[in-house]
């Protein structure tokens, strides 16, 4: 478990990224992830499989955006699930 300054416990506080690349641009996603980390989020869930069917055109986009953001800013755990189309 990774703890940042605002979350000094061993409680998981996730944020989902499933719409990054689908309806959320990288710039918006980046600002959202910055805000999340500032407010105690300590891992991101990039699964695309919750309320909407996965799109072949955007498959993997949330993971790419998350990786780009992490490379530039922060490192934290990531949960991801993949299902074939």
Catalytic residues, which ones?
Answer: 50
Structure tokens at 54: 């996965």
Question: Which residues contact residue 61 at a Cβ distance below 8 angstroms, ignoring those fewer than 6 apart?
Answer: 20, 21, 22
The Cα-based distances of 24 to 8, 32, 65 in angstroms read 30, 10, 10
Between the alpha carbon of residue 84 and those of residues 8, 53, 55, 64, 66, the distances in Å are: 37, 11, 11, 18, 21
């Amino acid at each position: 478990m990774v703890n940042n300054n605002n979350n000094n416990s061993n409680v998981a506080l996730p944020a989902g990224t499933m719409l990054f690349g689908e309806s959320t641009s990288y710039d918006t996603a980046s600002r959202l992830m910055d805000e999340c980390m500032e407010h105690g989020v300590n891992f991101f869930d990039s699964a695309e499989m919750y309320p909407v069917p996965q799109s072949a055109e955007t498959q993997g986009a949330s993971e790419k955006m998350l990786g780009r953001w992490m490379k530039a800013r922060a490192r934290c755990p990531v949960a991801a699930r993949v299902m074939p189309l």
